[in-house]
Structure 1
Amino acid sequence: MTRKDTTVIGRREELSLLRELIAPPHKESHVLLLLGDPGLGKTVLLAEAAREAEAVGMRVLATTGRESEQDLAFAGLHQLLRPVLDRVARLPTRQAEALRGAFGLSDDPAPPDALLTGIAVLTLLSELSDEQPLLVTADDAQWLDRASLDALAFAARRLESEQLVLLAGARGNVPPAGFERDLPQLLLRPLTRPDAGLLLDAQPRPPHGRLREQVLAQAVGNPLALIELARVIATDPDAGRRWTAEPLPLTGQLTALMAAQYVTLPPAARSALLLAAAADSPDATTAIPGLSADALAPAEAAGLIRLDTPGPRFAHPLTRSAVYHAAPFAERAAAHRQVADALRDQPDRHAWHLAAAALEPDEHLAALLEDSAAQAQRRGGAAAAARALERAAELSPGEPDKARRLLAAAELALAAGQADWVRELAGQVLTLTSDPDLRIAARLDIGWSLLWSNRNADAFDTLLSVAAEASPRLPAIAWQATWMAATVAHQTGLPEVCAKARAALDALDSRDGPPPSAEERPAGRADEYRIWIRACTDPFGDRADIVPRLRRAAGGSLSDPGTFGAAAWVLDETELAVRVLREALSRLRAPGVRGASGGVLSALQWACVDSGRWDDALAAAREAGDIAAAYKMETVAGSADLTTAVVAAMRGDHDQVAPLLARVRAAVDTSEYRGFAARIWQTAGLAALAQGNYVTAYAQLSRLFAADGTPLHHHFSYLAVADLAAAAVRAERHLEARTSVERALARVDPAPGPRLEQLAARARGLLAEPDSAEAHFAAPMADPTGDTWPFERAQLQLDYGEWLRRQRRINDAKPLLVTALETFRRLGAAPWTRRAESELRACGVTVQAPQGAPGALDGLTAQQREIVILAGHGLTNGEIADRLFLSPRTVASHLYRSYPKLGIAGRRQLRDIIDQQVTPRT
């Protein structure tokens, strides 16, 4: 810092770290979360950082969370960006509209898309930092509204090469929502005894002797407590005699101290200070009569409040809390009514302040809050809308309106991803009403919330019960509940759970009559749900009926392309799945549609992995991870991490795999989500295979099947059957594996589809005796459908080619090995590329590496590889940034760092490099 660090006593290391982040040159972005108990100095450190930033020529944008504005969607973000709102017009059109919609400045009635709003914030901050290095601070982030937190967290996770530093301070030891994943943290601790003594001695009238020791003991190193206790001793030396020897809880100390100062103020000053505490917004206080500088002067003199240009600000958030709660409810209510009267031109705040003053039911006020909820929902603030409806329900005089509003609040809490809150709200509906339709809808919400809470067993029982009860009267709810129950069945992979979900489908079919035949046009959403339920419960069975039904339905107008596309993915209609899921995603990215894209992205990323679109899979996984963080979707986040891990394993990025799998294990209960367990073992085994650790690979992959062939998961276990065989052969466990594989394959339909047939043929060829292996290898090669899964096809070609070479059939082996090598190089599967090259050399073929630097694309990071490929296909930096949810500056930085690794001078040569990677010369 340019000033002496002693201005903040006891925080030398923290100030040094902030100095490093802020000091020029500003070549890359930095994010840091300051965490710690109230009073430890987070606000002071942020203020010091802001002063230092301005001193070195940085622009500073700041926001402060306010407890009273937690329910006002995007209030914190608006405070942050208000000085630069004129720059919104320069953003890309969709981003500008999203940000205007978030701030209530758009004529479009649709709510802004949360993801697009986050991209707009990222782009705006990036462009500002291009003009001038930028510091962004968010103090008391724990009180920022959720929509603002999500937008800031999105930007924080995407910052890389901007001239930007983002600092956020929050109470406690846990980051605020959205900031939990992979962001640097600095946990503030209480001051050491020597530093606490220095700070105490630096006060205008420091205590001495016994009183000094008493203050040090009771403050326990909290800087704010030291300052406030010293002030009390200075004004009332006898106060020390009234304290007990044991320290009170810290928050209680400060609250008592600040409240004591409040009650000694003149009545007019107390009234004015209470008005400021009730308003809790400097810009709002300017419109409130009674909040004059003269009225607040005694409070300012006491150090409780500061008067500056926007309006009065409390010296510390605890001061506001202490003042507010020191007043009896009647006085607080009167203050809120006075604030509400002054804010009639701000309907949301007007309604909330009236609600804060209400004790009795009031239908007019409940209706105002319901209108406020609608406004919040249109701005994309689902959580704020849910809170408004919850309070409206509390104020509703009649039980029907109360139940209706609680149910609507539960639906919005669901959209906000707050499963516990959904369960609480829906539970109140069940307690309150006997209306059967409302009760069934509430129980459906509870089933959803249990599923989101990773409580699969409870969710499944609830959903089946809802389906059975709703079936005669509410068919839409019955189908939705059964569809969700089937999702649980697929996630668990337990045979008994799949059987119960299938029985629920049979019950619906017996009520509605048989489904249309495969030759008829499907019956709409019910048939789409029916296909999903059948696919989830038996992905390899009865394909002669279900696959034609799926393909025929794809030719019509789909009511739920997300569910339909996911069914196509489960049924290995992979190209159809990619097409339909992309269509579904384009709908869900439209302005106003939020959150629901998490499940679609999960299916799409796996379909892209299967079909060899690995960079698209990584992009989808990154987007899914952002949505999961915003909506607290742990399974969506886990699936995104697994996708990233499996691509890393196949590409030989070994260092990435273990941390990603560890994160999945920590987030998801694999005993309930056996699909995750199977994917984890498959990915770990694949990574071990890629590294040549065959014994380890076999140990991990063999976890996918019991000794009797029972699969760990009825779907995903079978997708690893060929890799299990490959590991077994190289670990010299082929006899044991042969028995296990045959027992496992005996449990599925004899015609499980071309994908599993190809995998099974490769497994049997690897495990067979030499004289019978070729029949297994050759059979799927005759079916071009196998090319749908290029990595699996290339593995088959590699193993078949290796077998042919060992049989001295070199000319037969070469074409297979060349084709496999082309595929592996195109995918960037470096370990398998090396194996194919080695096999070709053993056949006497001279294998030439692609032109460019040694290793070419294999030497890039996963993100650099994505950006290089997109740039090589002609996309601009802005278009790449929009697709990958980065800033254009970050894209440019990655390209700049990639060129030397590729051995090229610039962008124009990328197309040639990519073409040479796809089609190697042999």
Structure 2
Amino acid sequence: MIGRETELAFLAGVLDDARSGGRVVVLEGDAGVGKTTVVDAVMDEAERRGLPVLLGVGVEGPAPVGYTGLFELLDPILGTAGDLPERQRAALLSALGVSEGPRPDPLLVGLATLGLLEAAAGDRGLLLVVEDLPWLDPSSRAAVTFVAGHRGDAPIMMLATARTGLLPAGLPGATTMTLAPLGADAAVRLLTATAPELGDALRERVLAEAGGNPLALREFAAEADRLPWAEDAERLPVSRRLERALLGDLAALPAASRALLLIAAANDERGTVPEIVEAGRRAGAGPGDLQPLERNRLVRLSGDRLAFDHPLVRSAVYGAATTTERAAAHNHLAEVVADPVRAAWHRAAATLQPDETVARELETASALSQKRGTLPEAVAALRRAAVLSPTLEDRARRLTTGAEVARQAGLPEQSYALLTEALPIAATPHDVAGLATVERLLAMTFGTPVRNVEASIRLAASLGDGPEDTVARIRFLTAAVGQWWNMDGSAETAGRLRAAVLDLVAEGLWQRDMMLAMVDPAAYGPAVRPRLTAMLSSAREAAFAKDTERAVGTSRLLPIFARCSESLQDLDLAWSCWEIYREYHSAASSLGDEAYALNGRGMIHVLRGDLDAGLADTEQALRLAEGSGLTRVAGVAAAVSALAHAWRDDREAAEQRLADSVRYRRHEPYALITARESWAAGLLALRAGRPGDAWLELAGVAAHPSTGLWALSDVAEAGVRGGHAEQARRLCAEAAEQAAALGSDHLWAIVHRARALVTDGDGAEEDHTLSIARAEASGNTFELARSRLAYGEWLRRRRRIAPARDLLAAALREFARAGAAWPAERASLELRAAGAADEAERTPSVRTAQLTPQESQVARLAAAGLTNREIADQMYLSPRTVGVHLYKAFPKLGVTSRTQLQAALA
């Protein structure tokens, strides 16, 4: 190869490093600059070294059927898919059309792809090549991007090519290498080697026109004696002049051959030779008319596919045809293609004006694509169907559906664009309510702009009195209450929502009671709280019909109900709601919704002091949210994870998760995230002995009413120690009103402990004893330990040593069990100060705190007897990653085999 010695040496070095952990390289350059030639050389070198090579190629043009490129890439190793975790295997095979199954989640497909590649790589390594990555179908490109970002230290080298400017986002962790035109000396050497017969004048003209582009040098030289060097040729890009050279004289081809060539150019990447020939027959061409195309180096047979000699040929042929000629080619293909999705796209490409029949075909194609799990392609079909819709009502409906599908696909920009387009023309209550729901879900999960709650109230008030209007009105207001609970939390907005619900929702509806109890727990909680269990049955019935959603998105009633339960301080019922929601979406492989549920369940675990379980949930939610692009869900997960790490006294991990949380909310107000960040940051400041800073940090918990109540005793401690006792007393008085109204043992335990902390002298003892009694009644052993610690400290300071020792020892045992290293250390120091050092030393140390959350969860599942593959299926990891976590966990726990794990973790 001439002129590419530096690039090949670099890529050879990358191959050298493959076994010790692969790398990702993107080879970027203009058309014809030689990317494929370099890739071919690297593939030959990899095969010479014994590295397996997998190749996938993107094809320019529409890609109506998703995962086409991924199938080509993985086809040689699909026989090993049986070794994948069950759900990952089912998702991958369903996505590739190998077997029937439920709609595969893109994240599961990405995990399965990674697992398959890791197994194929083994210890020797593997080269994964993706040519023309930007032209890969969107679903396949998402899977490849996932692998690039989650390889870890797996020995997988990925080499992708892209035309300059077509891959703005690149690949995670990739090194981009730009393939520049050949230098003057190399260009002369290449031209001399390929066209030694050229005269001096033509040689100079070819060198000048080609500009160092290797393909241009070859093609211009081949056509030099008859190439029409037009005066404007110098003003055209090399790629345009290359197209002309590659096509040669199309007019000289037989008309039937030209028709076949255009049909081949119009076909999609799944097109086969029989399809092209049959479509050509309808255009008056036969199989024999392929011969002139092959003789002129325009196309070549590759298996059952007709491949163009260069991608430029395809785009040049299609671009040179008239609009009418292109429409005819797509129509012929639509008549012969068996797949309804592909046929609908060809029919749409041939349609130049609104057409309800074609729009309906595309809508059906979108539904099929959704079933196959190729959501980006489903969105594209709905967008095109909307364009072809003759009526505004049908257009609005299709745009509304497209916005929701794009949201599910993790495409917030596309979803928001469709939403913005649909809002001005939506007229039916169903569409308007659907758009409002999508708008709020986008805001709560991705952080896109959202109209204020007042806009929802106005829309709800504008609806009529029919059954559809009533349903839409409740959806509006429920979504608005959910938005307030997550993002706003202010008393002013709560008051406006309360007035709207009272005015616009009929009495007797459980949704009315749920919304009122959320926005004003003290006023409506006493009547609603005893009925919560019965109301949950109504919510489940409204959400599900047997084992499926009654309509798209109806399951989201359960998170709203869980938030209501949290507002009314019924943590057990809230946990049940989150678990029902998680189980449904886990079974449906809807991982974004499962991440949302894990966040909710994880927070309840942390409140109960089950820190390992809380971290397992929130870290898994963070992984799933990151994989699905759910930035605000990731922000909530990181904030709760920071809180759990703070209790475990892992300052470095807590600060890292706090930084992640701030990054994911992009420094914008978001009540739920802000309040939990503030709580975690306040605990870290208290731990560091900076009560003044803790008071300032903990001021942020007020952004979210429920979180503010749960953090009350920490706020009170920071207030007393930081010189803000009076403000802390006012907060305790306000919280006591809520506790009195709701009658929650859990909340009363916190309030009594906080009041004891801000009460001077012996008057605090009654609150201390009441806090312990209420914590015992609630069954929350973590809160009980915190109340015992607070009372034990109070007693020791008053020299009542014997009862102080008993309380402190009991608290220490619970903190050790929970892995709460900071309060455990605090209880241990108090015991020693009370003269009970032997008691402190007898309490087991918090050993599992040295494990990362993922290592801890993997170790516990392995101790329970699950295999690596079963653990990978449950935790959404690859089996290799599970093995790595165990490899790191064993020495930390002082064990050498799985059989020793149970005792080490006890």
Q: Verify the 8 A CA contact 1:625 1:637 in the aligned structure 2.
A: yes
Q: What are the equivalent positions in structure 2 for 1:87-486 lying under 5 Å apart? A: 87-89=80-82, 91=84, 94-107=87-100, 110-130=102-122, 133-154=125-146, 159-160=151-152, 163-167=155-159, 183-189=172-178, 191=180, 196=183, 200=187, 203-205=190-192, 225=213, 228=216, 232=220, 253-259=238-244, 261-262=246-247, 264-265=249-250, 266-267=252-253, 273-281=261-269, 284-285=272-273, 287-289=275-277, 294-297=291-294, 300=297, 308-309=302-303, 311-314=305-308, 317=311, 320-343=314-337, 345-397=338-390, 401-426=394-419, 428-429=421-422, 438=431, 441-442=434-435, 445-446=438-439, 448-449=441-442, 454=447, 458-470=451-463, 472-473=465-466, 474-486=469-481
Change (3 A) 1:33 1:487: farther
Change (3 A) 1:421 1:841: same
Q: Are residue 645 (structure 1) and residue 642 (structure 2) matched?
A: yes
Q: Are residue 742 (structure 1) and residue 729 (structure 2) matched?
A: yes
The structural deviation recorded for 1:485 is 0.3
Name the counterpart of 1:887.
Answer: 878
The structural deviation recorded for 1:214 is 12
The structural deviation recorded for 1:357 is 1.9
Does 763-772 or 354-363 show the bigger shift?
763-772
Secondary structure of 2:805's aligned partner: helix
Distance 1:134 1:851 in 2: 50
Distance 2:133 2:521 in 1: 46
Q: Verify the 8 A CA contact 1:336 1:356 in the aligned structure 2.
A: yes
Match of 2:477, as an amino acid?
Answer: T
Change (3 A) 1:12 1:747: farther
The structural deviation recorded for 1:483 is 1.0
1:663 aligned to 635, 660, 663, which one? 660
Match of 1:668, as an amino acid?
Answer: R
Change (3 A) 1:423 1:692: same
Change (3 A) 1:105 1:461: farther
Distance 1:47 1:774 in 2: 80
Match of 2:405, as an amino acid?
Answer: L
The structural deviation recorded for 1:227 is 5.2
The structural deviation recorded for 1:330 is 2.7
Match of 2:532, as an amino acid?
Answer: L
Consecutive unaligned residues in structure 1, runs of 5 or more: 516-525, 705-710, 916-922
Name the counterpart of 1:636.
Answer: 633
Change (3 A) 1:235 1:218: closer
Q: Are residue 615 (structure 1) and residue 612 (structure 2) matched?
A: yes
1:581 aligned to 555, 558, 578, which one? 578
The structural deviation recorded for 1:786 is 7.0
Name the counterpart of 1:765.
Answer: 756
Change (3 A) 1:129 1:11: closer
Q: Deviations over 1:660-686 (max 9, x none)?
A: 333333332554423322222222232
Q: Are residue 673 (structure 1) and residue 670 (structure 2) matched?
A: yes
Secondary structure of 2:26's aligned partner: strand
Name the counterpart of 2:53.
Answer: 60
Does 902-911 or 386-395 show the bigger shift?
386-395
Consecutive unaligned residues in structure 2, runs of 5 or more: 281-286, 544-557
Match of 2:173, as an amino acid?
Answer: P
Distance 1:767 1:691 in 2: 21
2:14 aligned to 9, 13, 18, which one? 18
Name the counterpart of 1:549.
Answer: 531
Distance 1:211 1:243 in 2: 18
Q: Verify the 8 A CA contact 2:326 2:350 in the aligned structure 1.
A: yes
Q: Deviations over 1:110-149 (max 9, x none)?
A: 5334454444434444444459744434444444444334
Secondary structure of 1:186's aligned partner: strand
Distance 2:650 2:901 in 1: 22
Name the counterpart of 1:797.
Answer: 788
Does 163-172 or 230-239 show the bigger shift?
230-239
Name the counterpart of 1:500.
Answer: 496
Q: Are residue 904 (structure 1) and residue 886 (structure 2) matched?
A: no
The structural deviation recorded for 1:903 is 1.7
Distance 1:43 1:107 in 2: 36
Distance 1:719 1:163 in 2: 47
Does 666-675 or 150-159 show the bigger shift?
150-159
Aligned identity (percent) is 31
Match of 1:890, as an amino acid?
Answer: T
CA-based RMSD of the aligned residues comes to 4.2
Q: Report the TM-score, using the length of structure 1 for normalisation.
A: 0.82
Match of 1:377, as an amino acid?
Answer: Q
Q: Are residue 489 (structure 1) and residue 480 (structure 2) matched?
A: no
Change (3 A) 1:689 1:481: same
Change (3 A) 1:384 1:244: closer
Change (3 A) 1:895 1:542: same
Change (3 A) 1:316 1:788: farther
The structural deviation recorded for 1:377 is 1.9
Name the counterpart of 1:522.
Answer: none
Secondary structure of 1:204's aligned partner: helix
Q: Deviations over 1:722-741 (max 9, x none)?
A: 33344455xx52x3x21222
Distance 1:823 1:645 in 2: 21
Q: Are residue 72 (structure 1) and residue 57 (structure 2) matched?
A: no
Secondary structure of 1:750's aligned partner: helix
Q: Deviations over 1:410-431 (max 9, x none)?
A: 4433433444444544555555
Secondary structure of 1:188's aligned partner: strand
The structural deviation recorded for 1:631 is 4.7
Distance 1:215 1:835 in 2: 82
Secondary structure of 2:191's aligned partner: coil
Q: Verify the 8 A CA contact 1:74 1:381 in the aligned structure 2.
A: yes
Distance 1:596 1:809 in 2: 52
The structural deviation recorded for 1:434 is 5.4
